Amino acid sequence: LVDPRDGSARGEVDAALLLDEAARSAWLSGDPGMVFIDTINRANPTPRLGAIEATNPCGEVPLLPWEACTLGSINVAAFRDEAAGDLDWAALRETVALAVRFLDNVVDASPFPLDEIREAVRGNRKIGLGVMGFADLLIASGVPYDSPEALALAERLMSEIAAAADAASEALGEEKGVFPNWERSTYAGGTRYRNATRTCIAPTGTIAIIAGASSGIEPLYSLAHLRRMGDGTVLPEASAAFEQAARDGGFHSPELFEELAAGGSLQDHLEVPEELRRRFATAHEIGWEQHVRMQAAFQRHTDLAVSKTVNLPHDASVEDVRSALLLAHELGCKGITVYRDGSRTQQVLAHAPADAPGEASNGQCCPECGLPQA
């Protein structure tokens, strides 16, 4: 055990036993989430300013003391070109460049409550551009989330966004100047970026609802469910894409959607074509390993971190949780959150009835990542 104040050794603990304890706790309640601070600091663009010790609440933005970061997300499903059977990559790159300029302007336009925050934020000018609507894009492309093709699309998509964001920040560096701490960063003598970081993947729990898009890089939570809002209001939701597919396929019925909202699975309906059952597989029907590998695919092309929840079915084991934590670290993720369905009394997404059996909570849920707050 290392004292974070002076770096001195204060004791020893059995790492395997500690991991077992963390995995069991996460299995019981969803906490703790893991932050891999070693991986985070290896990617710290300004190590001379200090080590990173913490992240924002959802884990996608590792920050130095006093820092904040301006975030934005692109609805990638909107760039699906049906006629071409592909994304409109040129339009996506153009939008990324515009978004980077916009987010950089926000750094200057934002008021700050303390001088220390203003100095830290404007010294590094960190921005984090990410995505939402990834599940919608896969569905529109006919690609199952739980497939090698989905991982390949994730790699290409985020690599294109990262390259366009880097180019835009470099152009802004030439136009407006590099971030003030550039000389003390890992970029010194190299690429003249306007922003110390350019990309990050946020959960987009709120803005995705406004945009009518699926959240972040998550698969669909379910095809029909109840959403518990921050004030306790419970609203029914259904996948518009699945509703249309059901109508087109001739198997749409109120009874089907009632069954799905009550926790039933489309996989049990053999009258639905297998291709559609695979394409509309939901979060709990996708193995934990694919969840983690998808997060890692996006992380490989992201400056900051990726916020994603590995949603597990209620019957998942403690060993499943432990294995997910280990694989996330092995693949270079900067953190990981797991949530076993029903492990708390109230959760932001649920099947009817809205309150699943499990451990007690105060009923409040994070509006971004959807996890119940302790």
Alpha helices in the chain (DSSP H): 15-29, 37-42, 89-109, 115-124, 134-141, 148-176, 207-211, 240-249, 254-261, 274-279, 288-299, 318-330
Q: Would you state the structure tokens that stand for residue 196, as one six-digit string?
A: 């110390």
Name the amino acid, one letter, at 309.
T
Please give the helix or strand (H or E) that residue 128 lies within, else none: strand 127-132
pLDDT at site 152:
99
Q: Would you state the structure tokens that stand for residue 274, as one six-digit string?
A: 């297998």
pLDDT at site 369:
57
Residue 116 has phi, psi (to 5 degrees) of -60, -40
- Would you put residue 51 in left (φ > 0), alpha (ψ -120 to 50) or beta? beta
CA R_g for the chain: 21
Q: Would you state the structure tokens that stand for residue 171, as one six-digit string?
A: 């152009």
Give bridge partners of residue 311 from the DSSP assignment: 339
pLDDT at site 233:
83
H, E, C per residue of 45-89: CCHHHCCCCEECCCCCCEECCCCCCEEEEEEHHHHEECCCCEECH
Q: Which residues are catalytic?
A: 56, 58, 60
Per-residue pLDDT tens over the stretch 82-111: 999 999 999 999 999 999 999 999 999 999
Domain segments of the chain: what residues? 1-374
Low-confidence spans in the chain with pLDDT less than 50: 354-363, 374
The whole-angstrom separation of Cα 259 and Cα 255 is 6
Quick one: how far is CA 24 from the chain centroid?
Answer: 23
pLDDT at site 232:
80
Residue range 1-374, CATH number: 3.20.70.20
pLDDT at site 258:
87
- Would you put residue 11 in left (φ > 0), alpha (ψ -120 to 50) or beta? left
Burial of residue 362 (number of CB atoms within 10 Å: 0-12, 13-18, 19+): exposed
The whole-angstrom separation of Cα 294 and Cα 98 is 27
pTM: 0.91
Yes or no: say if 204 and 102 are a contact pair by the CB < 8 Å rule.
no
Other beta carbons less than 10 A from residue 166's beta carbon: 18
The whole-angstrom separation of Cα 312 and Cα 284 is 5
